[in-house]
Amino acid sequence: MHIVVIGHGMVGHKFLETLAASSMLDPATPLRVTVLGEEPRPAYDRVHLSEFFAGKSADDLSLVAPGYFERAELAERVVLRLNAKVVAIDRAAQSVLLGDGSAVSYDRLVLATGSYPFVPPVPGAERKDCFVYRTIEDLEKMKECAARGDGTRQRIGVVIGGGLLGLECAKALRDLGLQAHVVEFAPRLMAVQVDDAGARVLRTRIEELGVGVHTGKNTLAIVDGDETTHRMQFADGTSLDTDMIVFSAGIRPRDELARQAGLELGARGGIVIDGQCLTSDPHIYAIGECALWSGQLFGLVAPGYDMARTAARHVLGAECGFAGADMSTKLKLMGVDVASLGDAHGTTPGSRSYQFLDERRQTYRKIVVSSCGKYLLGGVLVGDAASYGALLQTMLNKIELPEAPEYLILPESGNTVRPALGVDKLPATAQVCSCNDISKGALCEAVAGGATTIGALKSCTTAGTACGGCVPLVTQVLNAELKKLGVAVNNHLCEHFAYSRQELYHLVRVEGIKEFGELLARHGRGLGCDVCKPTAANILASVWNDFVLKPKHASLQDSNDYFLGNIQKDGTYSVIPRMAGGEVTADGLIAVGMVAKKYGLYTKITGGQRVDLFGARVDQLPSIWEELIDAGFESGHAYGKSLRTVKSCVGSTWCRYGVGDSVGFAIELENRYKGLRAPHKIKFGVSGCTRECAEAQGKDVGLIATDKGWNLYVCGNGGMKPRHAELIASNLTEAEVVRLTDRFLMFYVRTAERLQRTSTWRENLEGGLEYLRQVVVEDSLGIGGELEAQMQHVVDTYACEWKEAITNPAVRSRFRHFVNSEETDSNVVFVPERGQVRPATFDERRRTIPIAVA
């Protein structure tokens, strides 16, 4: 069977993924697929399109993993053709005609053509610098327009349309540095989703951000402005001058191919489909925004994904059906939480509503209940949407409301406790993750199968891995199931401490504990082990920043920290002096070269922009470091669970593209955070522009310079399981970067588990990135100042560990191979290679040292 898919957007790619998961891995399945994409690139995430202006590239937004179409099971079955515009469908011949004159035959055809932006028929709408907000190419044009200013005044941008996409677009204009305005024909913003009261709160919050809001405006014409490119003339006699106009006034289904082919269409457009997503032609399916089911078009991605799954399964002969979709939504618009569910306007006969408005905090909550008061029909949340997940599931699954439903939206106080809508009331069929169609039952099965953490649950079910909005509810299901199963999730560090690392950290800090013996006596038992001793040593160093090789701490360290170097496969150690930001003087390079030559060390440039020296015997370490410290170097902490490197590009100092001093800022950051002990190693990257030469978006902390400041990314890493860092704040000054980084790192140090990278910590953090942003950026816990002060203590008490080691006779005497002899290790054997040395192989060592072989 040959399947042709017209359109490789989010929904078209979901169709392909469903096919691949269902059948393509089976060599016996006679299936071929041709995907025809009109755009020049594969499917990308349109939901997060505005992040393109915050530093993300087209590759970052891509939904297609590198090498996806080259996978062995897909390479011979799937063909993706880009820049392939289909101009006609020949139903009789079962083929499609492309713009280049070629034709592709099909057995089954899937129309995933999506929609196009509606541009009102306003005179002047075709003028230069009038755009739509739909593709990456559109965004690139907007970006070029915004950068055209001469610097004499702030340029102005206007969005026509105050709905979901319009407000997202307004944020994009603000991110571009424009003075942003929203013009809406209706009397309020988001007229479809929120009511008058909710719209008033939303408008106030958006205007506080510096965005102009103009509602009830009918644009009659767009003409020349005096100092600006355009002037918008309104029906009420007023006008608005602007340099850029973006139309975001709704979408229309792309049904022109279906119309040409004679398929049944709706009266107002859209390709009519049935419950299997079949059109009026039994060989043709339609999915996504182009499809009309039961008289309804769906402009959200989740219903499109449901259609894609339905069509893919039906093609393969499975029993399935699309039964419509709930259009409830929750999103953050310019930092403001907005959620709408069900009958938000209370149009159901006999329904009644409860509303709560807090004008001081600018939050609004409303629920609509049935006439009997037992069932939730809808709601609106603005400014605080934390209860969205629980309310949505209550509505979708017709769970009976408590006797006083108004308490669901009232704030908690001493006399008022918001009643819980327990997840135990949800049926197994309840869809918890709509993006990936994961039910509560599937989550429960995964928990029963051993997934006892959020990270594990995400990995085995994919719930919460798309938009992330369901993570709080997924967490509730996990906790409820573990309780039902009688599973006590033991977070104890080891048999000697009935506490997690986070709990031990707080005990050390709150009780002022400064030695392992004291911690063991107060809160542990036994003598300790190889798990708790290094962990305790790490915690003590994080809190008090004490020298790790003091007699009371030295015996706790693992081998790397005990000798302040990484032990290598042949028993020698590495020497890695710090080169902050990758910068080193010529004299510094000469000094490193002289040391390497004197001690016969192997040298290599690292990925973190430093020079590694390998092959040092343990007895040589103090002498080597003495010479390096005399040359101005200090410990690079390559051996510790601490800050390793801050990688930088040359930035605005040298690069013609650079807009920020990445080297200078990288050096400042590395010198600030050097020596900070953490649950795991930490790496930074600082890029001087969005070309990203320092790979900042693959680091625990990453910074990218823009012409408006620094964008801060967190919780990325390379390695075995790479993870893209996430944008947590944008357009920051250097002082703001330092403040937020202080908070982020200290919050991580306080709350992460043993040997947990920031990426894994973030995956298991209940509330995800949004919770982390609230804590770090908005200081929701009120501990920002405390975290900053704690980091400042680390900065103020920093001392180079190697400098202290070589000047302390008792510590220096520890660096010897044998405790009772001055002899060196005769098993260390090197052989020459490429002008340097390397450890001898087993056979090479046998020729030098007699080794008994069984």
Binding residues: 649, 655, 689, 693
Inter-CA distances, 798 with 330, 400, 562, 577, 750, Å: 45, 59, 18, 16, 19
* Known binding positions for [4Fe-4S] cluster: 649, 655, 689, 693
| Closest to 558 in 3D by CA, of 541, 544, 580, 543 | 541
Query: Of 744, 765, 667, nearest to 700 (Cα)?
Result: 744
Which residue intervals of 379-500 are DSSP H helices? 388-396, 440-448, 454-461, 471-484
Q: In sequence order, what are the residues at sequence separation of 6 or more whose Cβ sits closer than 8 angstroms to the Cβ of residue 66?
A: none
Residues 6+ away with beta carbon under 8 Å from 164: 190, 193, 329, 331, 333
C-alpha dihedral sign at 258, 260, 261, 267: positive
CA distances from 665 to 322, 628, 671, 704, 713 (A): 54, 24, 10, 11, 15
Please report, as a single letter, which amino acid is at residue 587: D
Nearest to 308 by CA among 757, 747, 3, 614: 3
Residues that constitute the known binding site for siroheme? 693
Query: Which residue type is seen at 711?
Result: N
List CB contacts of 270: < 8 A, sequence separation 6 or more: 253, 255, 290, 291, 292, 297
Say if residues 750 and 506 touch (Cβ distance below 8 Å): yes
Whether the Cβ atoms of residue 229 and residue 246 lie closer than 8 Å to each other: no
Read off the amino acid at residue 790. Q
Secondary structure (3-state) at 329: strand
SS (H, E, C) 491-529: CCCECCECCCHHHHHHHHHHHCCCCHHHHHHHHECCCCC
- Closest by CA to 222, choosing from 245, 254, 190, 199, is 245
Closest CA to 532 of 564, 485, 497, 565: 497
| CA atoms of 379 and 391, how far apart (whole Å) | 8
Label the pairing between strands 709-714 and 726-732.
antiparallel
Distance CA 576, CA 590 (A): 15
Element at 628 (helix H, strand E): helix 621-630
Beta bridge partners of residue 3, listed in sequence order: 33, 108
Strand-pair category, 682-687 with 701-706: parallel
Residues 6+ away with beta carbon under 8 Å from 85: 38, 98, 99
- Please name the residues in contact with 794: beta carbons below 8 A apart, sequence gap of 6 or more: 542, 545, 673, 675, 676
Q: Quick one: tokens of 591?
A: 């000094």
Of the CA atoms within 13 Å of residue 334, those in its CB half-sphere come to: 28
Tokens linked to 99: 């713009």
